[in-house]
Structure 1
Amino acid sequence: MRRLFVLIFAVAFCIKATAQAPVPTFDAHKLNISWQAVQNNYQNKAESLNALVITNTGKTTLPASGWKLHFNSARGIASATVSGNAVITKLNGDLFTITPTATFTALKPGASATIQFVSDELVINFTDAPEGIYLVWDAQPEKGYATGDFTVLPFKPNYPGLVTPAIIYNQNQKIQDVPEQQLTKIFPTPASYKETTGTFNLTADVQFTTDGKFSKEILGFEADLQTLFGKKLASKSVANIISLKYKDGLGDEGYELSVQPTAIIISATNAAGAFYGIQSLKTLIPAAAYAHAQKIVEIPCVEVKDQPRFPYRALLLDVARNFQTKEQVLKLLDVMALYKLNVFHFHLSDDEGWRIELPTLPELTQIGSQRGHTLDSKIFLPASHGSGPETGRLAGSGFYTRADYIEILKYATARHITVMPEIETPGHARASIKAMDARYRRLMAEGKQAEAVKYLLRDLNDKSEYNSVQYWNDNVIDVSLPSTYTFFETVINDIAGIYKEAGAPLNTIHFGGDEVPAHVWEQSPAYLTLKASHPEISGTGDLWYYFYGRINQLLKDKGLTLAGWEEMGLRKTMLDGKAAYVPNPDFTPYHLQTEVWNNSIGSGQEDLAYKLANAGYKVVLSSVTNLYFDMAHYKSFDEPGYYWGAFVDIDKPFSFIPYDYFKNTSVDRDGLPINKSIFIGKQRLTDYGKTNIAGLQGCLWGENIKTPERMEYMIFPSVLGLAERAWAQDPQWATEPDTTKSSAMYQQAWANFLNVLGKRELPRLTYLNGGYSYRIPKPGVMMRGGEYKANMQFPGFTIRYTTDGKDPDTKSKVYNDAVIVTGNNVKFRAFDNKGRGGNVSE
């Protein structure tokens, strides 16, 4: 007995001693870490061998054990490392840990250790690197410490479809340089445009007149001109007049613009048309005028009659994965308005964040807007997408206060932009689930059980096991619970109240609907209870229609319509013995709005948008192949972005044919040529289906967008291709049946578009609102006959080069003609008018 007592005491003492083990004094900031892709197709599999090199730059030793490194990765990683000195464990979502094994040796000052591991995908670009690495001591598991510098080392893989400077050069050679005087000077391209003789000399004493209908639009334009001239307008001139006049029959957004030497007349039927006439006038202003305050601006005389092709011209911004500030949103709205985009799809919630303050449910932002190191997600959400261990830091943490959101709404409304909020459900909903869990715990602790369960979004006894596409195992709302609908009714009411206070239109709320994984709800007691009382529910798949039927009714009761991703309008069924999706006839009478992203080439869903439109659904084309701006521009290691759906350079939105995107689809998701036979048997768009295509939407998902600069790099100038296709009339090259003629017509239109961007619109964005960090493509470079030749996708930019291996800067030599040098140290780089450079070609 005594021996047993001694043993128990000894064990207890050891446990206590372990629990009280001191936290090492080592400074985690002294760990510099680099990542390098070592080999693709490792062991002849579609996998990659990678290496993390950990270097101790401090003056004390990193212990051999007693710690873990946490990091985020969008791809799966094998737990056993090739180097054997660590084990990698997936926690949840994109969060992983690295734990040293017995073979890991203490890291002395100045020493390095390499951990080699296998990823389940090939490395294509630097976005494939892990991110957000931080250290956690075993003795202090609740605290995370940011490490030092993280470096992604270059990788030059040899894979099919790699875009080289030589390939870029050959592509650019087809681009004709068009003299600026021959370019259409209004963008997007008007339906009818004619230049006449003379110019209108715009000065700060210009006088505005209106019949009273368009006074708000004049006020907005006056503010723009004050910025242009750097002072208040005098409004004294009787010679130079800008008049806004009502004219019947020009349509909801149509206008006429007449620029004469002594007057500018904008005619429209409604305020939106008048506003777009003003935007066209603004693009007539030479781009150089925005560089500094002007005394006089010469505007060419033109006669224009214009109206949009599509009524729905949208841009989605995801701020849930990574947050963007109110100021950055307002800056984006300015450019959307200039280029006549009229719907701002605001993706406000997802697994990794809830970004709008709602007065009834404060936990949504208290819990759901913050990310940091956590063991249980009870106080805030875990680190995702490289956000690191500390809360309160952009871009992982942040939200819009009620006042912020109202300001955004007013700003958008003044620019004739409708803000459509998206609340992701039932999948992609971990932030809201964890927030309502926190509310439940708080109220239960106060003894308020009825109030505690009022907004619960999961059955506490649900034992279902699942994994989402993004690896989450607890991110799906239980649609069987009555409290789920109480939650959504409250969310709808709060959002509607905010819009009402802002005086902003709210017609639609987007309720997500995509990527709900298999096996959800299967072991939910709430589901089994609901199934017993609803004979129409025979399996969990039927919960889909039950859920969206109820959400649709909640919105209808408020006079609102339902929008969602394509899955919302689909029904699971069996086709030729295989699982398949078909348009759900139950929702067809409601003409619900479906935003269809999945036309990934080779996926089998290339015609999904056309199926839904033909079936009667209102369809917004958000095609991943052409309109996902978070996709990498092309296959090159130095180009940021995902590429699972496609590579999307600026030619993709410009060349998009909404009514027949099969016609000019030439490459698959990997950028490799396709066999057109894959479109045989696919549904084509019927004449009835065409009436259901509401418009186009570009999408910027935020997983990789951590800074305003990266946001602008990915959006601009691709969004200008979207603006052209959504506003301008159907181009002749898109409908010409003769492929040879069509190709020639397209090439001329493409050259004109690039010249307009390079010589007018990108220089404008260089200076407008302090400047936008649009993507400056790397030059094409070809070595031929001992000479280096270079060219640029956008005519009008300056190319500079070096021959000493250093990256070119604004002091480097200007490229004018072929460069004759020996050796391989030649580098080329393009610069804008401000001296900002793009990626380097070498």
Structure 2
Amino acid sequence: MSYRVDFTVISKAEHESRFALTLHNLSDQPVEKWSLHFVINRWIEPTSVLNGQVKQLGSYCVITSEELPLLASNSHFYTEFTMGTAPFTLHDDGIQEAFLVANTSVGFIKPLPVEVTCIDLGQPAIDRFTTKLPPAKALNIIPMPASVTPLSGRFKLTQSTAIASPNALASGAARWLQEELTELLHDDFPIHRDGNIHYQAHPEMAEGAYRLLIEQDNICLQASSKSGFTHATSSLLQLLPANPEHYAAAAYSIPMVDIQDQPHYPYRGMMLDCARHFHSIKRLKHLIAQLARYKFNTFHWHLTDDEGWRIEIDAYPELTRIGAWRGPNEVLLPQFTTINQRYGGYYSKQDAKELIAYASDRGITIIPEIDIPGHCRAAIKSLPELLVDPEDKSQYRSIQNYPDNVLSPALKGTYTFISNVLTEICELFPAPFVHIGGDEVPAGVWTDSEACQNLMDQHGYQDPKELQGHLLRFAEEVLQAKGKQMMGWEEATDGDKVSKKTTIFSWRSENAGLICAQQGYDVVMQPAQFTYLDLAQGYSADEKGVDWAGKLPLDDVYQYRPLAELAPEDPAHQQIIGIQTALWCELVNNQSRFEYMIYPRLLAISEICWSNPQQRNWDDFKARLNGQLKYLDKAGINYRHCE
């Protein structure tokens, strides 16, 4: 590599750190009129730069030097700067990628590759965090069923085994089982009237409850609902041997057992950020199959953000023509990783329909998220004539370091945009819910907009946050007219304009969820400190991930119990409808890292979502997790090893 960047911590305090950056020209040619482009997820204070000048938008930074326009061969450029941050503890906190540009006066950017060395944190090494797993159990179902009664004997799954023609409620679960067994046996697995795997309707059973009875000659999956049949199917699939050594004798051997079970929480979800990095439909299908296997019932699809718009909208083709792509020469500048080229992607409506159908057979509801009014930079840059007020002089910087990512509530175009987009989303997604985000609108927005101030006067609003509530109430009315219920992050309650029919997702802390529950909102608990899978899984510097909400090892995930400190009779408990985990993908841009961040923590979250807290047992879970690792290996999943 002809160019290299070294990045080093040179001083650190509780809330401020200073860094040294050195750019080396290792080539035999000088570089004229150069600029260094790199990404880092913290704000560089421009006035603190020792040499050169820095411009930053989001995570994308450009350093130039008018004092040193020529970077000579075998020389280097050195600078220092300060970031208002607690001391870094992870290598992922450092510079992720960089490229060099020569002759910056030329309009088209032609990146020159730059090697980025691992950040020197100036701290002693910390041993890798481990979790010792006891021997696997005879039955290793996750999440733990309410009742498991082992029976004497085994059912042999042979080439003569078939699924009996299912009832309508079980048709999706039967297709799922058929697909899994076809893949397992490398042969088409039949469904016909005389099969010995029976889906049986039992109307007296509760929603989501199931019974799985495996006898010597028959398997019975009993439920009263579509969800119950998928739950029974997931338990059956977990009882199949992970290693097919029995197939050499023309049979898989499954333990005979009687399982009776039902979920503790009705909502059990995972949110995936596909805006920061695009994830293919193939990757999403594989994830949804695992969510179903571990009895989740919701896939929350984060489709839009500052760094990308990922869903096709017929009314505004610019959203995907412009907003789905970023790069050095794109309207959206590079962010996070893959910064030296055009990067992105989007889902066509046909892609979405395909994924919805796939998820439906597995009992997974897909809830789309269109984030408003913040996190809208991709939309604003795609549709400036509709969404930009040139008279707005407000100054703000979002937590992700953008000064231009919030919709204006004073523009007619904003309401046209929201109405048209949400109408198409409602038509595309059959789920009864649509998530509208509503988070992280920064202070300072709308304060220096004459049109926004006039709108506040018109409605008697005293606080700019009421403008956010004004917009979100409009979105809620659009959704209600389409027969949909609105969901949002906890900040959706800011301005006190949305109805109590809005379901709130609490992410900043558990206490934030408690406050919303006490106000009468239904709440899905998603506190970052216990559920965010982008957090590092240990304490050593080479752990992948971030730590803004702390580290999150497997052990801590399993211990989470919503509102555990409240008395059992406290009415706030009744407002908690479930738990959701999340993977934010600023640094997740490939399958290997994707899986490493999710597994095995996803299995722990499945149990805290499903099982009664009084039933949970950490040592028992670890043994069952050990029994699940053979399946993860067979599935080729790059999970983080516990030991």
With structure 1 as the length reference, what TM-score do the two structures score?
A: 0.72
Counterpart residue number, 2:629: 762
In structure 2, distance between residues paired with 1:104 and 1:486: 48
Counterpart residue number, 1:798: none
Question: What do residues 36-62 of structure 1 show as CA deviations (whole Å, max 9, x unaligned)?
Answer: 4344527x9731433334242x4x412
8 Å contact kept, 1:133–1:146 = no
- Of 38, 41, 49, the residue aligned with 2:19 is 49
Alpha-carbon shift at residue 491 of structure 1 (Å): 0.5
In structure 1, distance between residues paired with 2:80 and 2:438: 38
In structure 2, distance between residues paired with 1:204 and 1:88: 70
Amino acid at match of 1:653: V
Closer, same or farther in 2 for the Cα pair 1:290/1:123, shift >3 Å? farther
- Of 458, 463, 468, the residue aligned with 2:388 is 458
Closer, same or farther in 2 for the Cα pair 1:556/1:300, shift >3 Å? same
8 Å contact kept, 2:557–2:601 = yes
Alpha-carbon shift at residue 219 of structure 1 (Å): 2.4
Amino acid at match of 1:619: V
Counterpart residue number, 1:98: 63
Amino acid at match of 2:188: K
Counterpart residue number, 1:617: 521
In structure 2, distance between residues paired with 1:35 and 1:699: 33
SS of the residue 2:387 aligns to? coil
Matches within 5 A, 1:28-67: 30-41=1-12, 46-56=16-26, 58=27, 60-63=28-31, 65-67=32-34
In structure 2, distance between residues paired with 1:129 and 1:412: 37
In structure 2, distance between residues paired with 1:225 and 1:629: 31
- Of 450, 471, 479, the residue aligned with 1:525 is 450
Indicate whether 1:632 and 2:536 are aligned.
Answer: yes
Aligned pairs, number: 641
Indicate whether 1:542 and 2:466 are aligned.
Answer: yes
Question: What do residues 49-104 of structure 1 show as CA deviations (whole Å, max 9, x unaligned)?
Answer: 33334242x4x4123x411111121112244788x5x4241332222111135357
Closer, same or farther in 2 for the Cα pair 1:403/1:380, shift >3 Å? farther
8 Å contact kept, 2:469–2:493 = no
Alpha-carbon shift at residue 157 of structure 1 (Å): 4.0
Amino acid at match of 2:289: D
- Of 309, 316, 331, the residue aligned with 1:380 is 331
- Of 503, 506, 525, the residue aligned with 1:596 is 506
Amino acid at match of 1:430: R
Counterpart residue number, 1:318: 273
Closer, same or farther in 2 for the Cα pair 1:635/1:530, shift >3 Å? same
Counterpart residue number, 1:424: 371
Amino acid at match of 2:508: N
Question: What do residues 556-596 of structure 1 show as CA deviations (whole Å, max 9, x unaligned)?
Answer: 1111111100011245xxxxxxxxxxxx4x545x3310000
Matches within 5 A, 1:257-336: 257-289=212-244, 295-336=250-291
8 Å contact kept, 1:48–1:123 = no
Q: In terms of mean alpha carbon deviation, does 338-347 or 209-218 score higher?
A: 209-218
Counterpart residue number, 2:621: 753
Amino acid at match of 2:22: L
Closer, same or farther in 2 for the Cα pair 1:31/1:295, shift >3 Å? farther
8 Å contact kept, 1:88–1:96 = no
Closer, same or farther in 2 for the Cα pair 1:432/1:152, shift >3 Å? same
Closer, same or farther in 2 for the Cα pair 1:422/1:469, shift >3 Å? same
8 Å contact kept, 1:228–1:290 = no
8 Å contact kept, 2:164–2:191 = no
8 Å contact kept, 2:35–2:104 = no
SS of the residue 1:731 aligns to? helix
Alpha-carbon shift at residue 732 of structure 1 (Å): 4.7
- Of 497, 501, 505, the residue aligned with 2:427 is 497
Matches within 5 A, 1:57-456: 58=27, 60-63=28-31, 65-79=32-46, 86-102=51-67, 106-108=71-73, 113-121=77-85, 122-153=87-118, 155=120, 157-158=122-123, 163-165=126-128, 168=129, 172=131, 175=132, 177-181=134-138, 184-210=139-165, 212-213=167-168, 214-233=170-189, 241-289=196-244, 295-374=250-329, 380-391=331-342, 393=343, 397-437=344-384, 440=385, 456=386
- Of 576, 584, 597, the residue aligned with 1:701 is 584
SS of the residue 1:232 aligns to? coil
8 Å contact kept, 1:369–1:398 = yes
Identity of aligned residues (%): 29
Closer, same or farther in 2 for the Cα pair 1:229/1:732, shift >3 Å? closer
Which stretches in structure 1 are left out of the alignment for 5+ residues? 1-29, 441-455, 500-504, 572-583, 600-605, 664-682, 734-748, 778-791, 793-842
8 Å contact kept, 1:135–1:144 = no
Counterpart residue number, 1:472: 402
Highest relative contact order (Cα 8 Å, sep 6+), 1 or 2?
Answer: 2
In structure 2, distance between residues paired with 1:216 and 1:539: 49
SS of the residue 1:494 aligns to? helix
Indicate whether 1:773 and 2:641 are aligned.
Answer: no
SS of the residue 1:424 aligns to? strand
Closer, same or farther in 2 for the Cα pair 1:211/1:463, shift >3 Å? closer
SS of the residue 1:724 aligns to? helix
Q: Which has the larger radius of gyration?
A: 1
SS of the residue 2:535 aligns to? coil
Alpha-carbon shift at residue 497 of structure 1 (Å): 2.5
Amino acid at match of 1:180: K
In structure 1, distance between residues paired with 2:4 and 2:215: 63
8 Å contact kept, 1:607–1:684 = no
SS of the residue 1:227 aligns to? helix
SS of the residue 2:372 aligns to? coil
8 Å contact kept, 1:427–1:515 = yes
Counterpart residue number, 2:493: 569
Alpha-carbon shift at residue 207 of structure 1 (Å): 2.3
Amino acid at match of 2:29: T
SS of the residue 2:381 aligns to? helix
In structure 2, distance between residues paired with 1:698 and 1:614: 22
Question: What do residues 253-288 of structure 1 show as CA deviations (whole Å, max 9, x unaligned)?
Answer: 111011111111111112221121111000011222
Question: What do residues 390-411 of structure 1 show as CA deviations (whole Å, max 9, x unaligned)?
Answer: 22x3xxx111112211111111
Which stretches in structure 2 are left out of the alignment for 5+ residues? none
8 Å contact kept, 2:30–2:70 = no
Counterpart residue number, 2:436: 511
Matches within 5 A, 1:779-794: 792=643
In structure 1, distance between residues paired with 2:355 and 2:166: 29
8 Å contact kept, 2:8–2:121 = no
Alpha-carbon shift at residue 724 of structure 1 (Å): 0.6
8 Å contact kept, 1:211–1:246 = no
Counterpart residue number, 2:594: 711
Q: In terms of mean alpha carbon deviation, does 268-277 or 113-122 score higher?
A: 113-122
Matches within 5 A, 1:713-752: 713-732=596-615, 749-752=617-620
Closer, same or farther in 2 for the Cα pair 1:291/1:345, shift >3 Å? farther
Closer, same or farther in 2 for the Cα pair 1:389/1:562, shift >3 Å? same
SS of the residue 1:381 aligns to? coil
Q: In terms of mean alpha carbon deviation, does 537-546 or 709-718 score higher?
A: 537-546
8 Å contact kept, 2:492–2:498 = no
8 Å contact kept, 1:134–1:145 = no
Alpha-carbon shift at residue 290 of structure 1 (Å): 9.5
Closer, same or farther in 2 for the Cα pair 1:278/1:79, shift >3 Å? same
8 Å contact kept, 1:186–1:281 = no
